[in-house]
Structure 1
Amino acid sequence: MPKHISAKEKFTSIHDEKYIKEVEVIEGGFLNLGFNQLQVYFEIIEKGEESCIIKSKIDYNANEEAISIASTIPSLQLEVIVVVAKDYLLKIKNESAN
């Protein structure tokens, strides 16, 4: 299984104040691997100035062959969101310090 999978995603819900994003994969990625539907929910919960918790939920519908790789979804998706969230939060912190 490739480490990075290209996909088109559509944000179905965004709540900037609560740092909640819901995304649906609409093309490529896991859909090319036998998934019929894949939705991902992320919530970033601030736990102080230097830490946070990332809560996620993944809903999917897949054929039998794809079920065997379903356990890889969280690690691949979270790898991306953790990097993006870290960069975004550091940018906000640096902007507020100036």
Structure 2
Amino acid sequence: MDGETPVKEAEVIEGGFKELGFDVYPNREATIEKDCTSITIRSTITYESEDTKLEFASLVTTKPLEIIAEAIAEYLT
């Protein structure tokens, strides 16, 4: 990976948490090489919402991204 940390950013534009009232909901994944056979994926979710919708804030987690990463790792090994 040449010492650089690849970063992927995606913003949800419809459905999911957008339907719950979140105005901005970007996901960011950084891939960090541990050694030649393993990596760490750092997932970050940031969001903006009206104060009246803050009761939904506890629903926002990186768990779906974790499940996807684990499925990919299992497929590749």
Indicate whether the TM-score tops 0.5.
yes
Unaligned runs of 5+ residues in structure 2 are none
TM-score (norm 1): 0.56
2:35 match: secondary structure: coil
CA distance in 1, matches of 2:32, 2:41: 6
One-letter amino acid of the counterpart of residue 22, structure 1: E
Higher strand share: 1
Q: Where do residues 36-51 of structure 1 align in structure 2 (5 Å cutoff)? A: 36-51=23-38
One-letter amino acid of the counterpart of residue 24, structure 1: E
TM-score (norm 2): 0.67
Count of matched residue positions in the alignment of Structure 1 and Structure 2: 74
Q: Where do residues 1-98 of structure 1 align in structure 2 (5 Å cutoff)? A: 18-83=5-70, 85-86=72-73, 90=76
Contact 2:11–2:26 (CA under 8 A) maintained in structure 1: yes
2:62 match: secondary structure: helix
RMSD value, Cα: 2.7
Aligned residue for 1:6? none
Unaligned runs of 5+ residues in structure 1 are 1-16, 92-98
Contact 1:34–1:65 (CA under 8 A) maintained in structure 2: no
- Runs of 4+ aligned structure 1 residues displaced above 6 Å come to none
Q: State percent identity of aligned pairs.
A: 38
Bigger RCO of structures 1 and 2 (CA < 8 A, at least 6 apart): 2
1:27 match: secondary structure: coil
| Deviation of the 1:40 alpha carbon | 1.0
